[in-house]
Amino acid sequence: MTAHRIFATFALLAVFSTAHATRVLEQPERSFEISLSQLTLPSSTSGGLTVKACDECPYSTHVLSAATQYFVNQQLVAFDDFKEIAGQVRANRSALDTAVAGVYIDIDTGRVTRVALVYRGQ
Q: With contact defined as beta carbons under 8 Å apart, do 83 and 44 qualify?
A: no
Q: Give the pLDDT score at 25.
A: 75
- Between the alpha carbon of residue 17 and those of residues 6, 20, 63, 99, the distances in Å are 16, 7, 47, 49
Most confident among 8-12, 91-95, 110-114 (mean pLDDT): 110-114
Share of the chain above pLDDT 70, in %: 80
pLDDT tens digits for range 51-97: 998 889 999 999 999 999 999 999 999 999 999 999 999 999 888 88
Query: pLDDT class for 23, splitting at 50, 70, 90?
Result: confident
Q: How far apart are CA 89 and CA 28, in angstroms?
A: 30
